[in-house]
Chain A
Amino acid sequence: GENVEQHPSTLSVQEGDSAVIKCTYSDSASNYFPWYKQELGKGPQLIIDIRSNVGEKKDQRIAVTLNKTAKHFSLHITETQPEDSAVYFCAATPDNYGQNFVFGPGTRLSVLP
């Protein structure tokens, strides 16, 4: 089955700097890769996703890149702000309707003012 690794487990950056979180997956059949942000005491919130037919997607300060050959994808946050502090989860799924999301273990991002 699918296995998703995520690094680093914790990340501290200064406000205004960039943050990069990397994930690798094992199942070449995976075709959908979302990123979720989870603030303390809240449910995960979808912030960006990418499908296997594209290599990069950007939404304001957030971007995701996908390398299907190497089986890895990354989240890039530019101009970080204190409100970006949260736990970020990547996920991968090979299934048609996403019924078998496999989550990475998460990255705790702290943005220091």
Chain B
Amino acid sequence: DAMVIQNPRYQVTQFGKPVTLSCSQTLNHNVMYWYQQKSSQAPKLLFHYYDKDFNNEADTPDNFQSRRPNTSFCFLDIRSPGLGDAAMYLCATSRTSGRVNEQFFGPGTRLTVL
């Protein structure tokens, strides 16, 4: 089945130690998103890629970076995680042809910062 895959599902890091989360998709969608979701809150968009074009949300901290080496993969880099960055990180995809707007989410990576 076509899907959005996130690895790892659980990640523990230390305060200030860089961490990378990964996302891959078999849907062949040209748009990929990264969301941060804290407990009992709605997902908050950090940034998205429209094909290779990177689009950063205005209030996304500089501590968060992203890479998209090809259509299928996207990475979230947190350069110096703080305690406030502990959250679920969700990857999503959509396409700009056919049934546009629909976003498909991966299972998420739960990040713990010690």
Contact = CB atoms under 8 A, between A and B. Distances in A.
Given A44-B43, A106-B42, A97 B101 contact: yes
Contacts, number: 62
A43 B90 contact: yes
Secondary structure of the A side of the interface?
loop
B41 interface: yes
Given A45-B105, A96-B100, A99-B55, 17 more contacts: A34-B101, A36-B105, A42-B108, A43-B4, A43-B6, A43-B105, A43-B108, A44-B43, A49-B101, A49-B102, A97-B31, A98-B100, A99-B50, A103-B42, A105-B42, A106-B40, A106-B41
Contacts of B101: 32, 34, 49, 93, 95, 97-98
Contacts of A46: 102-105
Interface in A9-61: 32, 34, 36, 41-46, 49
11 contacts: A42-B108, A43-B90, A44-B105, A89-B42, A97-B31, A97-B100, A98-B101, A98-B102, A99-B33, A101-B103, A106-B40
B90 A44 contact: yes
- The range of chain A's interface size is 20 to 34
- The range of chain B's interface size is 20 to 34
Nearest to B4: A43
Interface in B69-112: 90, 94-96, 100-108, 110
B37 to A, nearest CB: 9
Interface of A: 32, 34, 36, 41-46, 49, 89, 93, 95-101, 103-106
